[in-house]
């Protein structure tokens, strides 16, 4: 409970900044699921008059002005306006004004999280962001508390429900990428401009936050390699299945032997059909944490949507109301470099104008880079000028694969650029026994 | 931090009662994963001299006498001796002596949890039991905090790793029950006397704890219906697969329209192959919680073993060290009655001495009890005197099924008693979209 609340009585007074889908759900939960510790006192939105609803207590103030939330009777500001500007500055000002902050803003936390946590620690206030990572899945809390006794070594997950919807739709319906995307847009699961999701920037920001709180590594989100998922074709699911796999947008980060270097990447990858990641359907999220002592622990649920996100916000609000001193367990994250040069098996799909000698020349290049071919898969029934075939490669450093593919790009038989996907083993992403 | 610790300095002083596998792991974690808040001061065990290890700090006291732990320099007692006697009384005495308690003891918490929580609240101390429910899976914490803003309506899970190992081994290897059990025993996953697991008493106790903390219903563990899994035969997996299902020992509890009645049961059940429960392999545990707002959230991981259990104990210890006032969110559970008369689709396997008219007579009995037959499945290749066939039934109350089966027991064609299993739909146990 904040000092201000303690003086005046037992309730923590909450203001919501941003009255969109999530903001309305938070207000409704504050009203419907009676939490004696919490009281909604103010709502901020642009053009607030058209936002006003009649189901909220008449004592709630409606405002367009952030200054109205920095007043004495507000203990916590829930920031749900999204984007970096002006949200980041508002959060900073709120902390300096002695308010705690709950936010669902992954961009702000991925970019300025460590700094805002320090600011909060200085003023003995909270910054909490459960909703910023995996929507309604309480993974921040689990890392902070439930697994606090372990030493976490890796985090892997499906952090973007839009990509997961698209890829699992392609898997099940054997439909092309753009058709699955259009469906996701029609269902409201993808934005009109889906680039944040498809290019991996959304998952990148969430992974940076997870790396910070789970692995103690402070890395700028943009330093994490992100690969786009729209290179994936329906045929890739066919080949993946032959390899006992499916394809998911996976975000993962792992400690390396160098304490200053984190291995991390976001992008489409083959995952074993019996792994937890393969079983995530539709717009669900899943996070798998590996601990030195506790083994693999998984957390799954709805990664987006007003109500699930609001549940995460509520858990942060209750933590602030119930717990005195902000937990210090996330302090002391060390700035780390990011490497995407992990060693993995790889799947490479070539699409070629068929003619003799192609495989021989590819095999020669792979051999030159000390990369072993595990198998070559070719399905019949494709037109002669654009035949897709797949080379699966034994584990090798990603940098060696990149160099080999780069060298092959000189060849004139490519109908499309090769599609290169890591094959994440059960050891990497977890799997049933 | 406890009051005593606050007076003397920043460290919470921990005593371990019971230095078996889990106790040793807890001691090791306290030593290896430096937690500045925690200090191990004493270890209790019978015949403590033969338990003494050389890798612990020389300042740790070794004792056989509980009085030695009720002294001034102990803040928290970790109870790992198991069983109800004398553990329950020791926990009570520890609380009265102003100690907090962390326990992995499901029997004690299932039986006396509400009373011990009240005792703890009176003396402003903690009783924490993360390790009592699903080993290393931090589900107690998630319910208490991460989902605190939601109204949970149902909990379902795989809470017994031994049963899950046996059933998933039967599924994959098509081996008979007793062979899978012998394997589990050889691997140390099942006790020499496996009745606590197989008859469902272990899961029953864990479910009673979950019902208490997730659904606010205080029910005696023994009031929850538990059915044994050793009635399951390899052939049941064959038939289940034809119905798109597999078989798991499932524990579930759900609010009913009557606030004083909880629907709950433990036993083998058919679960859809694409449900989270079906995907739990080996000795893993999984808990699915349904919230009115947040939808289904799942938590999975290792349900047993020294290190995973110790991680759960450590998270409880850190919660005590870091959080001042014990959370009140589990207070106020109301005593509830338990009903196992849920409505469900059912699977009934009859094993009969084949002769004309059997199906007609069974169908007549089902019809008399207003139960609709969905399908009849019969695999060829079984001996004439013991032919297994399966009747799948449309949703009906469990009580109606019981009455019909009771009536059929009069018939003289049974080679074995019928095996009756609920078919838990995706709506009941969650499933991918």
Whole-number pLDDT of residue A274: 82
pLDDT at A147 over 80: yes
Q: How many Å apart are CA B311 and CA A353, to the nearest integer? A: 56
Average pLDDT for A42-53: 92
Report the percentage of chain A scoring pLDDT > 90. Answer: 71
pLDDT at A84 over 90: yes
Residue A301 with chain B: CB contacts under 8 Å: 294-298
Residue found by looking up tokens 């020499």 in the block: B192
Average pLDDT of chain A to the nearest whole number: 90
Interface with A, mutate which of B134, B138, B171, B274 (most A CBs under 10 A): B138
Strand partners, B76: B14, B100
pLDDT at A9 over 80: no
Does B276 contact A313 at a Cβ distance shorter than 8 Å? Answer: no
Does A145 contact B137 at a Cβ distance shorter than 8 Å? Answer: no
Residue B305 with chain A: CB contacts under 8 Å: 295
Whole-number pLDDT of residue A304: 84
pLDDT tens-place string over residues B356-380: 889 999 999 999 999 999 999 998 8
pLDDT at A262 over 90: yes
pLDDT tens-place string over residues B228-272: 999 999 999 999 999 999 999 999 999 999 989 999 999 999 999
Q: Name the pairing type of β-strands B127-128 and B152-158.
A: unpaired
* Domains detected in chain B: 3-134 (3.40.50.720), 151-303 (3.30.360.10), 343-429 (3.30.70.260)
Residue B313: in which H helix or E strand, if any? Answer: helix B306-322
CB A212 within 8 A of CB A331: no
Integer angstrom CA distances of residue A57 from A54, A61, A160, B428? 8, 9, 35, 36
* Other CB atoms within 10 A of residue A162 CB: 24
Q: How many Å apart are CA B75 and CA B97, to the nearest integer? A: 10
For A1-105, list the strands marked E by DSSP: 12-17, 38-44, 61-63, 76-79, 100-103
**Three-state SS sequence of B131-188:** HHHHCCCCHHHHHHHHCCCCCEEEEEEECCHHHHHHHHHHHHHCCCHHHHHHHHHHCC
**Mind giving me the DSSP string for A295-311?**
EEEEEEEE-SSHHHHHH
Count of positions (residues) in chain B: 433
Whole-number pLDDT of residue B221: 93
Report the percentage of chain B scoring pLDDT > 90. Answer: 71
pLDDT at B319 over 50: yes
- The residue ranking higher by pLDDT, A131 or B145, is A131
Strand partners, B265: B225, B252
Does A294 contact B307 at a Cβ distance shorter than 8 Å? Answer: yes
Helix axes B201-215, B106-122, angle to 10 degrees: 30
Average pLDDT for A361-377: 95
Q: Which of A29, A292, A324 sits opposite B293 (nearest CB)?
A: A29
Whole-number pLDDT of residue A429: 59
Q: Which of B142, B323, B325 sits opposite A138 (nearest CB)?
A: B142
Of these residues, B99, B106, B206, B227, which one is catalytic?
B206
pLDDT at B185 over 90: yes
Minimal Cα–Cα distance from A351 to chain B, Å? Answer: 32
Binning pLDDT at 50, 70 and 90, where does residue A99 land? very high
Residue B206 catalytic?
yes
Chain A to chain B, count of Cβ pairs less than 8 Å apart? 191
* Other CB atoms within 10 A of residue A218 CB: 17
Binning pLDDT at 50, 70 and 90, where does residue A399 land? very high
Whole-number pLDDT of residue A144: 85
pLDDT tens-place string over residues A242-261: 999 999 999 999 999 998 99
Question: ipTM of this model?
Answer: 0.86
pLDDT tens-place string over residues A306-346: 999 999 999 999 989 987 666 544 546 788 999 988 899 99
Alpha helices in B369-425 (DSSP H): 398-408
Residue A325 with chain B: CB contacts under 8 Å: 322, 324
Integer angstrom CA distances of residue B115 from B56, B95, B323? 35, 12, 22
Task: With H, G, I as helix, E, B as strand and everything else as coil, classify residue B2.
Answer: coil
Cα first-last separation, chain A? 44
Spell out the residues 6+ positions from residue A432 whose beta carbon is closer than 8 angstroms to its own. A274, A275, B168, B279, B280, B281, B282, B284
Q: How many Å apart are CA A43 and CA A40, to the nearest integer? A: 8
Instruction: Give the torsion through C-alpha atoms of A258, A260, A261, A266, to 10 deg.
Output: 140
Q: How many Å apart are CA A143 and CA A218, to the nearest integer? A: 16
Report the percentage of chain B scoring pLDDT > 70. Answer: 94
Alpha helices in B323-357 (DSSP H): none
Closest CA to A310 of A9, A114, A97, A40: A40
Q: Nearest chain A Cα to B313, which residue?
A: A149
Whole-number pLDDT of residue B3: 41
When computed from its CA atoms, the radius of gyration of chain B, rounded to whole angstroms, is: 24
Does A295 contact B283 at a Cβ distance shorter than 8 Å? Answer: no
Q: How many Å apart are CA A103 and CA A99, to the nearest integer? A: 13
Q: Which of B136, B281, B292 sits opposite A432 (nearest CB)?
A: B281
Does B279 contact A281 at a Cβ distance shorter than 8 Å? Answer: no
Q: Nearest chain A Cα to B300, which residue?
A: A298
Whole-number pLDDT of residue B283: 84
Whole-number pLDDT of residue B240: 97
Q: What percentage of chain B's residues is helix, strand, coil (to nearest 5)?
A: 40, 25, 35
pLDDT at A8 over 50: no
Q: Which of A33, A298, A310 sits opposite B151 (nearest CB)?
A: A33
Residue B280 with chain A: CB contacts under 8 Å: 432
Whole-number pLDDT of residue A329: 44
Q: Nearest chain B Cα to A312, which residue?
A: B146
Q: Which of A130, A147, A281 sits opposite B432 (nearest CB)?
A: A281
Does A148 contact B299 at a Cβ distance shorter than 8 Å? Answer: no
Q: How many Å apart are CA A101 and CA A85, to the nearest integer? A: 16
pLDDT at A402 over 90: yes
Count of positions (residues) in chain A: 433
Q: How far is Cα of residue A74 from the mean position of the Cα atoms in its chain?
A: 31
Integer angstrom CA distances of residue B410 from A170, B169, B359, B370? 53, 35, 15, 19
- The residue ranking higher by pLDDT, A14 or A9, is A14
Interface with B, mutate which of A148, A152, A274, A277 (most B CBs under 10 A): A148
pLDDT at B7 over 60: no
At CB < 8 A and 24+ separation, what contacts does A70-74 make?
A70/A94, A70/A97, A70/A99, A72/A4, A73/A13, A73/A41, A74/A13, A74/A14, A74/A15, A74/A41, A74/A42, A74/A99
Whole-number pLDDT of residue A6: 40
Q: Nearest chain A Cα to B35, which residue?
A: A149
Binning pLDDT at 50, 70 and 90, where does residue B332 land? low
Residue B297 with chain A: CB contacts under 8 Å: 136-138, 299-302
Task: With H, G, I as helix, E, B as strand and everything else as coil, classify residue B416.
Answer: strand
Residue B432 with chain A: CB contacts under 8 Å: 168, 279-282, 284
**Mind giving me the DSSP string for B400-414?**
HHHHHHHHHTTSS-E
CB A422 within 8 A of CB A277: no
Q: Nearest chain A Cα to B323, which residue?
A: A323
Minimal Cα–Cα distance from A182 to chain B, Å? Answer: 18
Interface with B, mutate which of A12, A33, A133, A138 (most B CBs under 10 A): A138
Residue B22 with chain A: CB contacts under 8 Å: none
User: The whole model's pTM is what?
Assistant: 0.89
CB B207 within 8 A of CB B266: yes
Average pLDDT for A360-366: 93
Closest CA to B353 of B413, B412, B408: B413
Whole-number pLDDT of residue A7: 37
Does A141 contact B136 at a Cβ distance shorter than 8 Å? Answer: no
Residue B138 with chain A: CB contacts under 8 Å: 142, 145-147, 297
- In a 13 Å sphere around the CA of A171, the CA atoms on its Cβ side amount to 23
* Other CB atoms within 10 A of residue B54 CB: 5
Average pLDDT of chain B to the nearest whole number: 90
pLDDT tens-place string over residues B188-234: 888 889 999 999 999 999 999 999 999 999 999 999 999 999 999 99
CB B369 within 8 A of CB B357: no
Integer angstrom CA distances of residue A307 from A280, A347, A412, B175, B295? 20, 39, 53, 45, 9
Q: Nearest chain B Cα to A145, which residue?
A: B315
């Amino acid at each position: 409970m904040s000092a201000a609340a303690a003086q005046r009585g037992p309730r923590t007074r909450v203001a919501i900044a941003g009255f969109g889908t999530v903001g309305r759900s938070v207000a409704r939960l504050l009203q419907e699921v009676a939490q004696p510790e919490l009281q909604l006192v103010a709502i901020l939105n642009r053009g607030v008059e058209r936002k006003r609803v009649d189901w909220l207590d008449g004592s709630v103030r409606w405002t367009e002005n952030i200054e109205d939330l920095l007043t004495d009777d507000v203990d916590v500001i829930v920031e749900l306006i999204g984007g970096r500007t002006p949200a980041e500055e508002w959060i900073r000002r709120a902390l300096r004004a002695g308010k705690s902050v709950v936010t669902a803003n992954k961009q702000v936390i991925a970019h300025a999280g460590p700094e805002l946590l320090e600011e909060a620690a200085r003023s003995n206030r909270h910054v909490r962001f459960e909703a910023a990572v995996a929507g309604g899945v309480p993974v921040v809390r689990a890392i902070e508390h439930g697994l606090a006794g372990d030493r976490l070594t890796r985090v892997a997950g499906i952090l973007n429900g839009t990509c997961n919807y698209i890829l699992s739709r392609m898997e099940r319906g054997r439909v092309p990428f753009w058709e699955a995307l259009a469906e996701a847009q029609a269902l409201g699961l993808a934005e009109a401009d889906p680039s944040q999701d498809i290019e991996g920037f959304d998952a990148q920001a969430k992974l940076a936050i997870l790396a910070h709180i789970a692995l103690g590594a402070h890395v700028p989100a943009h330093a994490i390699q992100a690969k786009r998922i729209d290179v994936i074709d329906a045929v890739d699911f066919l080949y993946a299945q032959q390899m006992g796999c499916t394809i998911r947008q996976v975000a993962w980060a792992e400690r390396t032997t160098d304490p200053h270097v984190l291995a991390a990447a976001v992008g489409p990858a083959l995952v074993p059909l019996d792994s937890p990641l393969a079983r995530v359907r539709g717009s669900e999220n899943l996070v798998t944490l590996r601990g030195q002592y506790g083994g693999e622990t998984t957390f799954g649920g709805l990664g987006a949507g007003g109500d699930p996100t609001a549940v995460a916000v509520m858990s942060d609000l209750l933590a602030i109301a119930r717990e005195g001193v902000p937990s210090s367990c996330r302090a002391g994250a060390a700035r780390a470099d990011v490497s995407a040069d992990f060693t993995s098996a790889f799947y490479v799909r070539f699409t070629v104008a068929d003619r003799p000698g192609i495989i021989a020349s590819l095999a020669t290049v792979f051999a030159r880079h000390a990369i072993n071919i595990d198998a070559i898969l070719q399905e019949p029934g494709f037109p002669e000028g654009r035949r897709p075939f797949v080379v699966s490669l034994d584990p090798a450093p990603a940098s060696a694969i990149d160099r080999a593919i780069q060298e092959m790009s000189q060849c004139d038989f490519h109908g499309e650029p090769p599609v290169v996907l890591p094959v994440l083993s059960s050891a990497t992403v977890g799997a049933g026994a």
